[in-house]
Structure 1
Amino acid sequence: MDRYEKTAHLEWWANPSTCLARIPIKATATANTGEWDAVFSPPLDHDLRENLKQLIDADPCFTLRFDTSAVEVQAEDFDGVDHLRLTVIPEL
């Protein structure tokens, strides 16, 4: 089973032209599962963690953006808000 880590950004879009959050992360994936574990890099301060929690509660769908690609994911708390589990949302 291949595991690899990449630097990426987690983005929360209010609509197609308004990005409300763009957070740098280190994403670790298992190639076979379509799931990513995300750790914020650098760690978020208290206010940013609270804002992120509100965004996740409002709508857990984010864009996981790498240098040359992006994928839609659903975020859920995993070991607190400092560590998220991201699951790829299948394309329709």
Structure 2
Amino acid sequence: TSALNERIAPKRSQSHASRNSQPITELVSFEEANYDEYDYYNLEEYPCHAGGKGRSKKEIGMNTNRHCPAGHERKIAGKLQNSEIKRRRTKSSSS
């Protein structure tokens, strides 16, 4: 088992293996086949960040607000609605 533990990533895979019911050998082969050093870095959890609320950096990045290419639709819609309301008010108060 010591040779197997050397092949496993130091911190993450031991706790990762204890959470899953899969044998360690399957996890090692999956991680070796699919992960590189940057994936391990992005999958580490940083519990000290209050904004992330225990989520990994990868999860935070996937669930952030995205840029809307159409612009500020809500702001424009609000201005149009307010201008219609003001126009109705001025027409009703002037007549």
With the shorter chain as reference, the TM-score category is under 0.3
TM-score, length-scaled by structure 1:
0.26
Which of structures 1 and 2 has the bigger CA Rg? 2
TM-score, length-scaled by structure 2:
0.25
**The structure with more strand, counted as a fraction of residues:** 1
